[in-house]
Chain A
Amino acid sequence: MNDARPTSWLQLANPAVFNRWADRLLWPLVIATLGLFAYGLYGTFFVSPADYQQGNTVRIMYIHVPAAWLALFVYAGMVVSALGTLVFRHPMADVAQKAAAPLGAAFTLVCLITGSIWGKPTWGTWWQWDARMTSVLVLLLVYLGIMALWRAVDDPLRAARAVAILTLVGAVNLPIIKFSVDWWYTLHQPASVFRLDGPTIHPSMLKPLLIMALGYLGLYLVLLLVRMKTELTLRRIDRLQRLAAGIPGERA
């Protein structure tokens, strides 16, 4: 059984099986990610043209936009994991949720910071209460709340279920927040804001953008696997320490 393929995803609930598969996936993913980033960054800085209005500043887009995509993608993944936790009681879903939250927050933060750096030369301000930026900011706050709840509850099983419920509640609310912020923006923002509507994106810019997005996705998966492995090791250490301390009711 040990060396067999995981015939069902339920088998991955066994940490040993999961670890073995994670190890097999990890290096190919690392190499693919490095390759994608090398190619994508080359495209970003040397191949793709400068914008006729923004000049070289437009190259921030290749860092900024994939981060925004990943910020949402990670949350979607956390929703799937939350369902895995609540419906299937899959232990790896707990671990995946916990590992994903700080990564999602980090991508959101990268999105906000690069957006701010991009905004200074193009809009002339570091921060603008623009609908999109505000929505992303609220997304960051939701991520931070989820991370805070993970920290606050000691027992990992309980924490996973509480966070899963919060993640699902957040998933229902995030589209509403997005809608309400858009609505608020159209009602109350002065019309002076310089909008970056521009022409539809040219293929010479789209290609490096998509490659960078794949690179970001690879980076996320690598970090997720590493964090999940770390979390499993930490839990094992915790259990062994409890066992060594002779706390009753603990099994090896």
Chain B
Amino acid sequence: MTGWTALLLRDLRLARRVGAGAELGLVFFLILVSLLPFAIGADQRFISRIAPAFLWLAALLATLLGLDRLLQADEEEGVLDQFMLSGTPLELLVLAKALAHWLVTGLPLSLVAPLLGLMLAIEPQAMVPLALSLLVGTPALTLIGLIGAALTVSLKRGGLLLSVLVLPLTVPTLIFGATLVKEAALGRPYTTPLMLLGGMTLLMLVIAPVSAAAALRHARQ
């Protein structure tokens, strides 16, 4: 497992030093949120009503950032070849990549989201559920993205294609996540969407590494 941890740490270090990963993702998230009132007007009550949906959409878009380079950089530098030779199962290695990606996108997003929720006048009782929903749901988004990244790894301009492949598959996660926050804002119990959201993440935890590893193996035969 040392190879696995080394890969995780390397990716986190790369994100910090080269990509300015976490901060930039958060700035993007903040920009999206501050653009919203310009687009729909400053009506506080209306903003409050669409805020859960909008924050989830923004999280979805922010997660997509950098996905096209998630595996591509390693492909170009020959690191993927080393993965194949390393003896550690490729499934686990791509999982480490996804985890690193989530730690610099999904996790900070989840923690900052209540603050932005404040700006969008979300009901106070929905703040914690908002963070919770993103915490539980964004791993599923990253994992679905991992599949897309593996499928488009050898393509020069895979970014747009990746979004087209990935976004339809995120529909359930988006539905469960946004519903959770809406239910919580209305003061209703949100256990069911939370369970379903967790189920999506667990399911993707199984499917994504296997599919991504298969896609990478097939891409170099």
**Residues on A close to B: CB < 8 A?**
86, 138, 141-142, 144-145, 148-149, 152-153, 157-158, 161-162, 165-166, 168-170, 172-173, 176-177, 179-181, 183-184, 187-188
The 24 sampled A-B contact pairs (Cβ below 8 Å) are A86-B214, A86-B218, A138-B168, A138-B171, A145-B164, A145-B165, A145-B168, A148-B161, A148-B164, A149-B165, A152-B152, A152-B155, A162-B218, A166-B165, A169-B147, A169-B169, A173-B172, A176-B172, A176-B200, A180-B171, A180-B172, A183-B175, A184-B175, A187-B179
In this complex, which of B172, B179, B215 has the most chain A Cβ atoms within 10 angstroms of its Cβ? B172
Q: For window 137-155 of chain B, which residues contact chain A by CB distance below 8 Å? A: 147, 151-152, 154-155
Please tell me if the beta carbons of A148 and B165 are within 8 angstroms of each other in the complex. yes
**In the complex, chain B residues whose CB is within 8 Å of the CB of A144:** 164
A161 to B218 CA separation, bound complex (whole angstroms): 6
Number of A-B residue pairs at CB separation under 8 A: 79
**Residues on B close to A: CB < 8 A?**
147, 151-152, 154-155, 158, 161, 164-165, 167-169, 171-172, 175-176, 179, 196, 200, 203, 207, 211, 214-215, 218-219, 221
What's the nearest-Cβ distance from chain A to residue B152, in Å?
Answer: 7
**In the complex, chain A residues whose CB is within 8 Å of the CB of B154:** 153, 158
Please tell me if the beta carbons of A158 and B218 are within 8 angstroms of each other in the complex. yes
A148 to B160 CA separation, bound complex (whole angstroms): 10
Task: List 12 extra interface pairs beyond A141-B168, A149-B151, CB under 8 A.
Answer: A145-B164, A148-B161, A149-B152, A152-B158, A162-B151, A162-B215, A165-B211, A165-B214, A168-B211, A173-B169, A177-B168, A177-B171
A165 to B208 CA separation, bound complex (whole angstroms): 11
In this complex, which of A86, A162, A165, A169 has the most chain B Cβ atoms within 10 angstroms of its Cβ? A169
Closest to A164 in B: B218
**In the complex, chain A residues whose CB is within 8 Å of the CB of B161:** 148-149, 152
